[in-house]
Every structure is written in structure tokens, then in C-alpha cells.
Structure 1
Amino acid sequence: MAGEINEGSVPPYYREVHEAIRCRTDERVQVEVFQRLLDRTDLQKAIAEHVDSTGGFLSKLSLYKALALIALAQQGKQPSPKLLENCIQELPKPQLGEPKDLGTLRMQATPDDPLTVAHSLDKLLVKDCVQVELIPEKKGLFLKHVEYQVTSQHHKISVYRRYSDFDVFHELLVQRFAYRMVPALPPKRMLKGVLTSISEREFIEGRRRALGRFLNLVARHPFSSDDELVKIFLAFNGSDVQIKLRDAYKRMGDEFITNRIATQAKEYLPTDIQNQFSASRELIRNIHNSFQKLRDRAEKMAERSKENATDLLMFGRELSTLGSDASSIPPLASSQSTWATLRKSLKGLSVEFALLSDKAAQQGRREEDDVVEKLNFFLDLLQSYRDLCERHEKGVLHEHQRALQKYSVMKRQMMSATAQSKEQVSVEQLESRIVQQENAIQTMELRNYFSLFCLHQETQLIFTYLPMTYHILGAFVNGGWIFFF
């Protein structure tokens, strides 16, 4: 029966539905996707028994048959091959919604969909935990330098790294994973005239924290965490780590060269990828701006808690000084004055203020270590996404446009040379250059689609991390708030 349905006999709606839910690499429809379509109709049993599938897929004609049966069932009729045969000349239209909305059925995770990032937040967070600790300063021949102990739970090893090692590692990561999120490094030195409000010690501590966030984001990334560059940086215990990193990159090249589906990326992309990218970019930009404000407020609250701790301690000390005053009370006040008794109690009360000061200091540390640090971690991730979007637009797209412009100029030169009957050698040279440019443009187009493919995955990764908001709010609440009146 399905063989009597052909492309020309079906309504346009059938073709639109097929285009929305078919595989990206061929015309077949996955059974899992079709089942999701049926779930919208509550007609699973009535339709499924009449639909043919092979190897987990429906052919285009099998889908058309299923759509016709769905339409008949929605009209209150009992779907059957005989009924379908009677209306073959004018197939009814099923009520399934707009085809563009059906594309989301295909976007849900399927076992063989390389575009989908099938990682939960919990799975990402336990992938690795990297600690970065400052070790005592070492003095070289001329300058002293700061060294860090880097400990990876996944690799079960501690290694020692200098900032210059981080710098080379970051540089190579950006080259290797140009189409992925790579968090920025903190500055190496204090910027004169900008960070004058903090001490050098505070700057070094802030840099240590930032380096830890950088490594944890890299070590938990689903696509770069298992790369040789990351393994070398976290586990190679030698003094020539920079040479080791550069040699590894020379062997591998960038991800486009080593990724097995890089040249087929276009086949997996949704048709509205540009619209999805624009909408996601704007949403993430707004989220980033809001989280920056949250972080700024949390920093101020943590700072106030520390200031409260200092003020409470000083308040208690003054009470102690007042209560320790051994001066005698003059006769004119001694008969009715309670100052002597009050003075003794003040000294005891100063101990309570010392305890309050300690609690305020602990709260400040909790706010800084839990709330502020988690906010900074998420902000580093969001900023790396915005940096990636900028690399995509200013890098791949601009290079592609320049290549097309160059190709256009060369074609005009070729036409001019042919029209003017220039020397055969000159014409052949132009032809050779045009062929080379065509190959370059083809490679750039493939890279552009792979860049969009990676952007789609990185966008999914951002939304996978968004539930960290619960972790941040939990740390905020669990820290408790101390109010003093």
C-alpha cells in the first residue's frame, strides 16, 4: 500500500513534516522521533501496527502513510490500509502543529546524534576536581617567581607549574580548540592605575583562584578534557612541560583535523541554526550581565561581613578597656551609682563580642569561598562563550568572506586575460590559482559549518551548567546571615 503513495500525490504539509523530523544525513526518520510525534496524538496503538519500519527507521513513504492514517484517525475513522486506499487521490492533512515546531522532536537526544551533548551537570562536576595551591616564592638568578602546585583528582597526581606554563597551555588550547569555549587566564601582573585598590598579596590570591577556575572548566569540558594537551599539563611531571605541550600540538593540529565528523558537520545542523545561534547568544548575553551584578553584590556583602568582624572585635575591646578601668568612683556618685557593677559586666560582655566577631569572619569567608567563587566560576564560563562567539564572527566568517572576494577578483582577471588573448602561460597560471582558491574556499566552508556545529554543542553546555544557580543559592542560604542591631 505504501508503494502507491508517491512524492507528487501528498499534500505539501507531508513534505514539510518529513523535512522537519528526518535524519540529517538521509531521508529516513528514526523510530524514536516518530514515536515522539505519535505521543502528541494519543493514537499510538491505532497507528503503530500499520506502519512499516526497518532497522529502527521509517522510509519517507512509510512516514507519508503514517501521516495519512493519523489524519483519518483524527477525523474519527478507524485507520486501516483499506480506508487509506479509498482516499489515495486526496490524502487528508493531519493536525500536528507547525512543521517548524516539530523540529524539536529531532533535537531531543538520540543514541546516534553526535550534535547532542548528553552530559548532566552532576556528571560534569565529578569529571575532575583540580586544586591549585600557592607554594613559597622562589628566587631565580634575577627575579623571584611564583609557583603553583596543581593537583588533579582524576589523574591522581600533583605537578608544579609557573604562570608561563599556564600561558603556553592556554595559547595552545585556543589554537587546538578554536571552535570551543576556552576560559581566559587572569592577568600575570597588577595593572598599574587600575588595581591600585588591592595589595599584591590579594592580587596573587585572586590570580590563584582564577587559575583554579580555569583548570576546572577545562578539565570538565566534555570534548577537550581527554585531549593530550590537557593530560600533559595536569599529569606530566617534568621541567620541560612547555616543550612537551608544543610538540603534542604540532603532532595533532587543530580539532577540525582530528574530529571524525568535522567534514560532515553540515549534515547534522538544524536548518535554522543561524536563528538559534542568534537567539541563544542574546539570551546568554543577558544572563551574563545579570550574573555580573549578582557577583558584584555578593562581593560587597562578603566584604561587609569582614568589616563587621573587625568592627565587632574592636567594639568588644573597647568594652573590655572600659570594664578593666580600676579607677575609684568619687564619693559624690558612690551612694546611688551602679557603675561599679556595670563596669564588671562590661568586661565579661566583651568576650561575647569576640565570639560574634569570629562568626562574622567565618560568614565572610563562606560568602567568598562558596557564593562569590561559584559566581565567578559561572561568569568565567559565560565569558568564554561570548569570546567564542566573537572568534566565530571575526575569524571563520571574515576569512571566508575575504576568500570569496579574492576568488571573485581572480575570476575577473581570468575573464579579462582570456578576452585579451594573453599568453597561454599567464592564463594557465591564473587557472591554477583559481583552482587553489576554490579548494581553500571549500575548506573554509567546511570549517564554518564545523564552527557552527561546535557552537551548537557549546550552547548546550552553557544550559547544562545553568542549574548551578541552585548550588549558588544553596550556598547563599546555608551560609546564614547575621544581623546586628
Structure 2
Amino acid sequence: QKIMSEDPSFCTDNPPKQYQEIYRILSGSSSSNSDSRGSTEDSSASSELESPIDRGLFLALLERSGLPAGTLRSIWSLAEPADNYLTKRGLFRALALIGLSQAGGGSERQQAPSLAALRALPEAPTPNFGDLASLAKEAARLRRERQPAKMSMSLEELEELDTVTVTLQQEQKGVLVFRHRVYKVTSRRYDSSNLRRYNDFRSLNELLLQRYPYRIVPQLPGKGRPLSGSGGAAFLEERERGLQCYLNLLARHPTVCDDEMLRLFFTCSGEDFEKALRSAFGRPLDEFLTHAQAASVKQLVPPDAVQRHEESRRFAQGLLQRLTACRDCLRCLAEASRSAGAAVAGLAVRLDELGRQPQLQPPVEWAAMSAEADSWAQVQAGLPRVTAAYQAVAARYEDKAALEDSVVASAEYLVMLIDGFVQLAERVKHLKRDHDRSMRNLTDFKKRASSHHMAGRDRWAVEDLENRIAKHESVLQDLEARTHFANFCLGLETQLVQANLPLVRSLLLSLTGSQIVGHAQIAEHWSNCKPLVEGLLQQQQQQQQRSPGIPGPSENRSPKSAKLSP
């Protein structure tokens, strides 16, 4: 406690952002939680909120510093570790001591760092651990090894795994009836860009479902048949967005993201990718047969796992239903902006046609009937300027629709994730039913064998029943192990869904921002249209004001109409 009270302020009240980021990486807490816990004015209250730092993770951090072993031992003792973990305050003190030692050269002859030298510094020293992104990956791997039943990744860390874009190419490949569309798939993680057919997506999906039957593998958007005209364009756009969400969900899955099949999908540049994928992997073994902890996960599954997962499944079903309705509303919002832009653009085209037709002139007799006979010529001459302004307004509606499309994509991502979770929960539920059915069959065989023994039946019939019992026991043992592994995986996938739920807040913030920006831009361009429209007859009105002998519009009205006019 004495050492704690003598810590400098940058280890307690106001730690640097680098210290807080390293704490977030090592503790596995979200950035928002880390920011909210950055202040340590009350150490007792802070200790209740903070996440402890695992000893192994901190030792991995020390090795990255490049300091001598003796210096690291001194820093470790000054950090005051408690049992097998380190507090947030102890971590900040250790980071400052590491930065101080690195600034001094970090040689064996250098004097060991002390708290007195640390308190004499005017500001926090900056330690150097290399790339923090690689540190985050290493910390996540170590956390998974030490806590296999915990996902230990925040939404920010999941999004850092990869970002995939899918763009439909305009040019079709193939000839005649074999023509097909291709998609340009770009991966930030692999720094790759390749062309893929829809059949390539389908082959990848089939193989991933075989390898990961107890993980969230989202449903692939349907192939269907594009309609003609605007309906076909909308279908292709929706499928393009769905394929992008599909690949991002796979690329940001803590387990599937490192699969060799997915890596090949992003990096293979051959012509016939589907054939290359099938020849390389054939029929892959499912994860239960290859997972290192598949046989020992029973102790990691809580006794009430089935009840918990059933509650999670029902919650996810209700959530899916409502989020799907929200996504449909967002689609309507984007379509409404696009329709409004198309209507304004159509109006601009019609006005342009109206202003560019010289044969569209009023009869000569109109000049004798009214002093405003030449007003149409002035309106027609000013229409091209109004048309250009309206086209600019239409473009702003399109920009607003594009912003709303990004919000729709986020909603589609979340809906696809939760839909995949519901399908996974159903698969695990059916596996449990198969296990229970096999258990009932085994019990029935044992009863029949017992009755055959008591009745003195034929020895061959009894041996046949015993063989069937032995075979059923083997099947039941495999089903039981699979059921435990499936429940273990389902628990991890539940945490994955929980980590992605903050996307609701993010997409609502994006929606609000898109409306603020979009409406402001639209209002600005409508304001630019106003003086152009007002100026259509401005020249004639000025001439009427200069010529008092010519009656103005108000003078030609009847007394009744003049009285009714506003």
C-alpha cells in the first residue's frame, strides 16, 4: 500500500492512452470499458471494476521489451503481482518502469529501475513493444489457451481480424447459356483481390458446413434468377451485399477465420477455383475429430448447459424476428431516398425538355390579350439553370441513399449472424435428440437381452443382442462426446453473438448521422434552387415597375379576386 500511494500521477489518475490500450489488450476488456476505468481516484472502487492481468500475458509482454532478465525481474517485483495476476495499477507502474529502462539503454550494467527515479519524471515514459496489433493477437491466443470456454474477444478485436469487400463486375463471363457473373473479392488481411463465381461461394459454404457443424456458418444468399429491368438490378445489388456480409462473418469468426479453405478462397488466383478447392480438401473431417480438446470438453460444459442454450435459442429467435423487421424498414428508407432522387431527376429531365423546345410558343393572339404574353419566353429561357439545380438535388438524394445502404449492410450482417446462431442451436438440439433416442434403444436392447437370458432362449439370439448392444454402446459413446463438444462450441458461439450486439448502437448512430448529413445537403441544394426559380420572371417584374402605364398582375384582377388573394 505504501508503494501504491507513492505512484506518480500517470500511473494512477491520468495514465497515457498507450497504457490504457495495452491494458485493454491484455485484459480483454472493450475499449469503452477501458476508457471508463481509466481514472483510479479510488483504488478500492477501481479494483472491483478492473479486469486482472494474467501472469502469462504480462510475461509475454515483458519479453517483447528486449530488456535484460535481471531488469525484468526487478520490474516484476516492483509491479507487486498478486498470486498469478497483476492489477491495472501494477501494470501501469510496470509499463512506466519498462519505458524508463528502455530510455536508459537497457544494458546489463545499467542500474535497476526504481520508483524514486520514476517519480522524478515530469511525464510518463513511453515503452516500446513493437506492433500492438501482433500483441493483441498473441494475447487473444494465450487467453483462449488458458480459458478455452471463453471467447475473450471484443467487437473491436473481431472487426480488426479482416474487412472483406465484394463487388459485382459488370462484364459477364462465358458464352451463350453458360454466361455467368463474377464478383471481385478483396481481403484486407491477405492484401488480395480475386474474381469468384457464385458457385465458388457455394462450394466453400458446403465444405465449411462439413468441417464446422457446431459453429456459426451463415446461410449463403440464394442464387435465384435475376429479373429484368430495375428488379434485376435490385436483386443483384441485394445478393452482392449478402455475399459481402457472408464473407465478413467468416473472416471475423475467431475459429473459422484461420481455416485453410477460407485462406485459399481469398488468395487463390487460378481460373477454376471450385476445382482447386475440391481437389485440395476433398471431404474435410469435421472439427470434432480434429479439435485438440474435443475429448476433454465435458468438464468445461456447465451442468445446465442444455437449459441455458434453449433459453439463448428462444431469445435469438425473438431477436432475429425483430431485427429482420428493422432491417426491412431501413431498406424502405433507402429505397424512399432513391425514389425521391429519381423523381427529382425525372422532373429535371422534363423541365429541360420544356425549356429546349423553341416550337413550344404561345399563339400571337395572346399578346393582345395580356401584357404578360412574353412571360413564357423568360420562363423558358431560365429553365436550363433550374434544371441543373434540380439535378444537383437529385444527386444529393442518391448520396443519402448510399449512406443508408451502409446502414442496411450493418443490419444485414447482424441478422445473418443471429440467423446462423439459431440454425446452429437447432442442429445441436437435434443432436441431443439423437443421443436420447440412442440411449432409449440401448436400454431396450439390454432389457430384451436380460429377458432372453431368463427365458433360456437360443444362444445365437442372445449373442446377436449382445453384439448389437456393444455396437450401440460405441455409437452412444460417440454421440455423447459429440453432444458435449457441440454444447461447448454453442457456448462460444453465444459469446460471439453477445460481442456483436453493440452493432445495434453503431448502426443507429450511423443512421442518425446519415439523416443529419443527408437532409442538410438536400436542404442546402433546395435553397440554391429558390433564387433561380424566383428569377424566372424577375426581369419582367422589373420592367413593369419601370413602366407605370402597363398594368401589373394585381391591377388586372377583378375586385373579388383581389380581395380573395392572400
TM-score (norm 1): 0.70
1:125 correspondence with 2:163: no
Kept after mapping to 2: 8 A contact 1:146/1:162: yes
What is the aligned counterpart of 1:317 among 317, 326, 349?
349
1:431 correspondence with 2:466: yes
Distance 2:403 2:204 in 1: 31
Distance 2:304 2:269 in 1: 47
Distance 2:472 2:427 in 1: 23
1:378 correspondence with 2:410: no
Distance 1:413 1:140 in 2: 65
Distance 2:254 2:420 in 1: 15
Query: 1:16-55 maps to which residues of 2 (within 5 A)?
Result: none
Distance 2:453 2:281 in 1: 45
What is the aligned counterpart of 1:204 among 217, 236, 257?
236
Distance 1:223 1:412 in 2: 44
Tell me the secondary structure at the aligned position of residue 133 of structure 1: strand
What is the aligned counterpart of 2:265 among 233, 239, 249?
233
How large is the RMSD of aligned CA atoms in angstroms?
A: 3.3
Tell me the secondary structure at the aligned position of residue 181 of structure 1: coil
Kept after mapping to 1: 8 A contact 2:309/2:425: no
Tell me the secondary structure at the aligned position of residue 137 of structure 1: coil
Distance 1:197 1:265 in 2: 54
Query: 1:216-231 maps to which residues of 2 (within 5 A)?
Result: 216-231=248-263
1:393 correspondence with 2:429: yes
Distance 2:392 2:223 in 1: 39
Cα deviations by residue, 1:342-387 (Å, 9 ceiling, x for unpaired): 554444322221111111122122212x111111111111111111
After TM superposition, give the deviation of residue 470 of structure 1 in Å. Answer: 2.7
Distance 1:336 1:250 in 2: 83
After TM superposition, give the deviation of residue 252 of structure 1 in Å. Answer: 5.2
What is the aligned counterpart of 1:113 among 147, 152, 158?
147
Distance 1:251 1:184, change over 3 A: closer
1:184 correspondence with 2:219: yes
Kept after mapping to 1: 8 A contact 2:190/2:267: yes
Distance 1:336 1:155, change over 3 A: closer
1:467 correspondence with 2:502: yes
Distance 1:392 1:249, change over 3 A: farther
Distance 1:303 1:422 in 2: 76
AA partner of residue 417 (structure 2): L
AA partner of residue 194 (structure 2): V
Cα deviations by residue, 1:279-317 (Å, 9 ceiling, x for unpaired): 322222222122111111111111111111121122233
Distance 1:306 1:142, change over 3 A: closer
What is the aligned counterpart of 2:392 among 348, 355, 363?
355
Kept after mapping to 2: 8 A contact 1:138/1:146: yes
Cα deviations by residue, 1:111-137 (Å, 9 ceiling, x for unpaired): 822111111111111211222233421
AA partner of residue 386 (structure 2): L
Distance 1:127 1:210 in 2: 19
Distance 1:459 1:364, change over 3 A: same
Kept after mapping to 1: 8 A contact 2:288/2:294: yes
1:308 aligned residue: 340
Kept after mapping to 1: 8 A contact 2:163/2:187: yes
Distance 1:436 1:218 in 2: 38
Tell me the secondary structure at the aligned position of residue 225 of structure 1: helix
Tell me the secondary structure at the aligned position of residue 168 of structure 1: helix
Distance 2:379 2:211 in 1: 72
Tell me the secondary structure at the aligned position of residue 187 of structure 1: coil
After TM superposition, give the deviation of residue 322 of structure 1 in Å. Answer: 4.5
Distance 1:240 1:360, change over 3 A: closer
What is the aligned counterpart of 1:408 among 409, 433, 443?
443
Tell me the secondary structure at the aligned position of residue 422 of structure 1: coil
Distance 1:251 1:291 in 2: 36
1:153 aligned residue: 188
1:174 aligned residue: 209
1:16 aligned residue: none
After TM superposition, give the deviation of residue 318 of structure 1 in Å. Answer: 3.7
Task: Name whichever of 159-168 and 123-132 sits farther off.
Answer: 159-168
Kept after mapping to 2: 8 A contact 1:232/1:244: no
Tell me the secondary structure at the aligned position of residue 151 of structure 1: strand
AA partner of residue 164 (structure 1): N
Larger Rg: 2
Tell me the secondary structure at the aligned position of residue 180 of structure 2: strand
Q: Which has the higher contact order (CA 8 A, sep 6+)?
A: 1
Tell me the secondary structure at the aligned position of residue 257 of structure 2: coil
Distance 2:444 2:380 in 1: 94
Kept after mapping to 1: 8 A contact 2:215/2:490: yes
1:87 aligned residue: none
Identity of matched residues, %: 28
Cα deviations by residue, 1:50-101 (Å, 9 ceiling, x for unpaired): xxxx9759xxxxxxxxxxxxxxxxxxxxxxxxxxxxxxxxxxxxxxxxxxxx
Task: Name whichever of 126-135 and 434-443 sits farther off.
Answer: 126-135
Distance 2:194 2:379 in 1: 60
Kept after mapping to 2: 8 A contact 1:186/1:210: yes
1:271 aligned residue: 303
Distance 1:216 1:113 in 2: 25
